[in-house]
Structure formats: C-alpha cells, structure tokens
Structure 1
Amino acid sequence: MSDNNFIETKAEDGSLISPVLADGVKNYLIDIDGTVTEDVPNEEPERMETCEPFPDALETLNGWYDNGHKICFFTSRTEEHREVTENWLNKHGFKFHSLLMGKPRGGNYHWIDNHMVRATRYKGEFTDLVEKKATIEVFKD
C-alpha cells in the first residue's frame, strides 16, 4: 500500500483482509459541532462560517496529526454543507486526512464493527488521553 501507516494483513487462508494501522498509530474520528467548535445545528448553516474553533482542540488535534495519527472529521452536517465545512477547517488551520458528512444525529451511538473501536466522550476540554477501565457491551460468546 502507498500509505506506510497501514500494515497488510492476511487471513489464515492467505487472502487479504482489511488493512490495520501500524502499532501506535490511532485513527481518530472527531465530531465538529460541540466538540471542536460551538454546537452549530444544520438548521443554522449561516453560523458555520463564523464560529470559532476551541483553541485546545486545534492544538491537540494538529499535534496528533503531526505525530502520525489519522484525523477524520465525522460530522452530522449534511453533504450540502461540505464546502463551508472544509473551508472552515482549512481557514482555522486544522490538519486532517478526511471528512465524513452525514453522521446520524441524536447521539447515544452504539458502533458495531469488525475492527477494534474505542470511544472518548468530549466533555468540554481536550486534554491528554488516559487509560480507564469501563464496562462495555459485547456480543454473547
């Protein structure tokens, strides 16, 4: 693969399976509204151009990017807001690899995937991430 942050992985039968990130590289999926800037609903798109980023978010996320981690913004903003969103991210200097539009609205997500998924709830401040034991739901064996 052209991206050296990914490791080619094969199943026991030798067939290729989805690539995984190299050890130590994280793939961050980050919400925009209410997480890196004020909470701007789709119903008020005029605010999307003028809102300001949270300084700690900009500094932290760009640091993660500079340290080789993958940054993907995953937002409930609709596809019609892609241009204003990309312009806003670029205007404020956010470094990122991708932008996914149309995240389901309403919160209380339960993500099911064939890859390891970790979640961190944003509570108003970007700080260093620490490990913490928590109860999670898993499929019954």
Structure 2
Amino acid sequence: MNKDDVKKLLKEKLEEGEHVSPILPEGIKNYLIDIDGTICDDIPNEEPERMATAEVYPDALKTLNRWYDQGHIICFFTSRTEDHREVTEVWLKEHGFNYHSLLMGKPRGGNYHWIDNHLVRATRYRGKFTDLIEKEVTIEVFED
C-alpha cells in the first residue's frame, strides 16, 4: 500500500466516523504537533477569548500543509481543553490547516517523556517552522 492509498483509506475511514490505526508506509511520518506557541501565538487556557484571534505562524501553515499533502499524518496535540475544541477547530479551518485529528487536554508543562515500543522522535519548536534535518544528540534510554 503506497502513501496515496493510505491517505485515501484514512480519509474515508475518518469521514465514516471509524477509528482506525493505519500501518504507515515507509517514509510516512505521524506528526503530533502542539498548537499554542508552536503554530500560532501562545494563548493560555485562562484566556480562551484570545484563541479565536491568535496570529498564525505562516511557516507552520506552509510546512504542515506540505507535509499533509505528502501523505504524512498530522495530529494536533494541545493543552487546550475539550471546552476549547469548537473555537480551535474553527480557527484551524479558517486559517487553512489540513490535519487528520485533534487531541485535547495534553498536560501543561514541558517535562514530557514518551515511552513506546516504536522509535519516537521529538523536536522542540524554537521559533522557526522548517523542514526537519538529522542531527546526533544524547538521549535517555532504559538500562540494559
């Protein structure tokens, strides 16, 4: 199954309301992307009235939509609560973000540690949304 087939199947299943976990073809990535402070102004949950008018980061829109068009899976993973879902979905649509899913309620703070039986990569946003490059770094792993 190539990436176009996976993209089509995923879209059909999502439109039918089905919950699917597709097997990603080689070269296709599953991106989990924060919203506030990553693709737009950093809006705290305590100021939800600002969410509808947050300024989009143009490089984020361009890069994420290109990744989406390339067949990658785009999932927004945000600390916004379920109470903020509607304003968030409207904002994403109005600004033209293409995505597959939206996960609300990510714990706030920065001490994330994802443990999985698959390789997980993490990239900290530092003010510029561009294509990713490979770089060697030191990481924490389980003791043998």
Same fold (TM over 0.5): yes
Structure with the largest fraction of helix: 2
Aligned partner (choices 58, 67, 77) of residue 64 of structure 1: 67
Report the alpha carbon displacement of residue 103 of structure 1 after superposing the two structures with TM. 0.5
1:119 equivalenced with 2:131 (yes/no): no
Aligned partner (choices 16, 29, 34) of residue 31 of structure 1: 34
Aligned partner (choices 130, 140, 144) of residue 137 of structure 1: 140
Q: Structure 1 regions of 5+ residues with no counterpart?
A: 7-17
Structure with the largest fraction of strand: 1
Distance across 1 between alignment mates of 2:60 and 2:108: 22
Number of equivalences: 129
Aligned partner (choices 109, 113, 119) of residue 110 of structure 1: 113
Which residue identity does 2:26 align to in structure 1? D
Report the equivalent of 1:5: 6
Aligned-CA RMSD value:
1.8
Distance across 2 between alignment mates of 1:140 and 1:19: 31
* Structure 1 residues 93-104: aligned runs within 5 Å: 93-104=96-107
Report the alpha carbon displacement of residue 52 of structure 1 after superposing the two structures with TM. 1.6
Distance across 2 between alignment mates of 1:113 and 1:106: 20
Distance across 2 between alignment mates of 1:101 and 1:51: 17
Please say which structure displays the higher CA radius of gyration. 1
Distance across 2 between alignment mates of 1:109 and 1:66: 29
Tell me the alpha carbon deviations over residues 58-88 of structure 1, each in whole angstroms, 9 at most, x when there is no partner.
0000000000000000000001100100000
Q: Structure 2 regions of 5+ residues with no counterpart?
A: 8-20
Distance across 2 between alignment mates of 1:23 and 1:95: 21
Is the 1:5–1:25 contact (alpha carbons within 8 Å) kept by the matching residues of 2?
Answer: no
Change (3 A) 1:107 1:22: same
Percent of counterpart pairs with the same letter?
74
Which residue identity does 2:6 align to in structure 1? N
Report the equivalent of 2:25: 22
Distance across 2 between alignment mates of 1:92 and 1:79: 20
Moved over 6 A (4+): none
Report the alpha carbon displacement of residue 114 of structure 1 after superposing the two structures with TM. 1.9
Report the equivalent of 1:14: none
Q: Please report the TM-score for the alignment, with normalisation by the length of structure 1.
A: 0.86
Q: Please report the TM-score for the alignment, with normalisation by the length of structure 2.
A: 0.85
Distance across 2 between alignment mates of 1:70 and 1:79: 22
Which residue identity does 2:139 align to in structure 1? I
Distance across 1 between alignment mates of 2:130 and 2:57: 12
